[in-house]
Amino acid sequence: MRKLVGSCLTLGLLASGCANHVRFVETERDRESVTPLESRHAIRAPEDLVSAPDVRIQLVRAQTLEIRRERSFTRSEERTPYRGARELWEVPSGLVSVPLSLLFNVTDVLLLGSVPNERVYGSTHWAFAALNPALNVEDAARIERRELQVRRQTLDSRREVKDTPLIDAALHVALDEGAVRVLRSDAEGAVSLHLIELIDAELPWPPRRVRLELRSDDGVNELAASGFFLERELAQRLASAAPLLAVRNLVDPSAEQWSAAVYGLDRLGFRTLSAELHDLAFQRWASAPERIERFRQRLDALHASGSRIEALPASADDSSDIAR
């Protein structure tokens, strides 16, 4: 019966053992948290008056983010968890270690405390922890950390707008109330626009505003709208270029008409388009060298005269209205 009671008491002690407290630890850590607040489509277009015909427009999804910088203070306990099976060797070790620990303390007193306190206290603590069947000895290899309390403090908060490019998005572009052109954004979400592309053959007045609308692929939903204004000098140049661009719509333009368009666009400052039309003339009339020669002669004559071109000649036979 006594053996049974002793066994029950031993099992009870082993089952009710507690973790060995090592120390309390205070830590602090800074971190940033990002919270999305708003997401919308946006058109990044020039904000000032535009004076050059080449314009770069950016199509983006603008996301407003709140960025908070926080500091957290954490109080934790480090402890060695209790394992009952370890008491099978820890208790016998404690029976041997306690007398030795007492002797070690007496020796330290006789030596006037010359033994480092860490060794004396550590030896004593280990010996009595080993002797206690409800407590495992402290073991650095088995230390666990348990979080007791967390306190957070906001250091600062700010808002930022992050732009994500919209790829292959449909941008509807028009001069004033003119015809709408649909342009697609590239892999960077950009639309490279040359305003000459928006010119019709006839403009009732110099255009002053470019309208921009970002629409869904089916063209039904307007996702964003914007625009920008043109400098008066650029608007006049675009209006003067409009009648010259009519050469592109002619079924069989003459050398006089083609040379007038090339020369007039060059004089207006649209030199890239002028060079493209110049090369196109050689491609179209590759099998008609006499027309290429006529084109060259008329173009040289116009450059030599420095004439101002206001309209295309009516026909190949009527060259009196080319220049004045």
Q: State the average pLDDT for the chain.
A: 80
- Identify any residues that bridge with 66 across adjacent strands, giving them in sequence order: 35, 159
| Residue 20: per-residue pLDDT | 65
What size, in residues, is the chain?
324
Contacts of 244 (CB under 8 A, 6+ apart): 260, 261, 264, 265, 268, 309, 311, 312
Is 208:175 a contact under the CB 8 Å cutoff? no
Collapse the DSSP code of 247 into the 3-class scheme (helix H, G, I; strand E, B; otherwise coil) and give the result: helix
DSSP string computed for 70-87:
EEEEEEEEEEEPP-GGGH
- Identify any residues that bridge with 126 across adjacent strands, giving them in sequence order: none
Mean pLDDT along residues 263-289 = 91
- Return the higher-pLDDT residue of 143 and 276: 276
Name the pTM for this structure: 0.60
| Residue 19: per-residue pLDDT | 64
User: Torsions phi, psi of 91, nearest 5?
Assistant: -60, -50
| Residue 156: per-residue pLDDT | 86
User: Torsions phi, psi of 98, nearest 5?
Assistant: -60, -50
SS (H, E, C) 295-312: HHHHHHHHHHHCCCCCCC
| Residue 56: per-residue pLDDT | 95
- Identify any residues that bridge with 78 across adjacent strands, giving them in sequence order: 23, 145
| Residue 321: per-residue pLDDT | 39
What gap in Å lies between CA 316 and CA 286, rounded to an integer? 19
**Per-residue pLDDT for 3 more than 50?**
no
- Identify any residues that bridge with 58 across adjacent strands, giving them in sequence order: 44, 190
314 DSSP assignment? S
Per-residue model confidence as pLDDT tens digits over 141-185: 677 777 788 888 888 889 888 999 999 999 999 988 888 899 999
| Residue 178: per-residue pLDDT | 82
- Rg (alpha carbons) of the chain, rounded to whole number: 44
Q: How far apart are the first and last CA of the chain?
A: 132
User: Where are the chain's structural domains?
Assistant: 250-324
Is 234:51 a contact under the CB 8 Å cutoff? yes
Per-residue model confidence as pLDDT tens digits over 6-26: 444 444 444 445 666 667 888
How many separate helices (H) and strands (E) can be counted in the chain?
7, 8
